[in-house]
Amino acid sequence: MSQVVPAKAPKRRKHLMDPNAPRPVVNRAAAEQSLTSVQRWVASSLAVTTILHLSGGLILAAMALPKPTLSAQIGLNVIAGAFGIIAVASWLFIHGRNLLSPWLLLGVIPGFVGVWLTLR
């Protein structure tokens, strides 16, 4: 009696789909966490840059007043500093951090820079 040797199945290439060995399931929770993180950074970047542009515009307005008075110039720069604080607070809020933070002190920098530029 002759024994029948089963033919070996050809070895599949790695880049092709193998129905007998499906790809591992992606961890959806990790993928969602990564997507959420990217969304937070994009949203906070857009919010902060938009608000800081508004603050910069107020500084330029204080420098370009047609009839400048000291109170008007300082008032616009104080508003610019307040918007700087709002910009930092929006970053903290979007990232889920505590709003009462020493980082809020960074927000007054546009106001100080504006006063320096306006009164020099």
In a domain, 85, yes or no: yes
pLDDT class for 12, splitting at 50, 70, 90?
Answer: low
In a domain, 71, yes or no: yes
d(CA 72, CA 77): 9
d(CA 120, CA 83): 22
In a domain, 110, yes or no: yes
**Per-residue pLDDT tens for 25-66?**
778 788 778 888 999 999 999 999 999 999 999 999 999 999
In a domain, 68, yes or no: yes
Write out the residue range of the structural domain in which residue 62 sits. 51-119
In a domain, 112, yes or no: yes
* Domain count for the chain: 1
- Tokens 């306006």 sit at which residue? 118
Number of CB atoms found within 10 A of residue 106's CB = 14
pLDDT beyond 90 at 24 = no
d(CA 84, CA 53): 10
**pLDDT recorded at residue 118:** 94
pLDDT beyond 80 at 21 = no
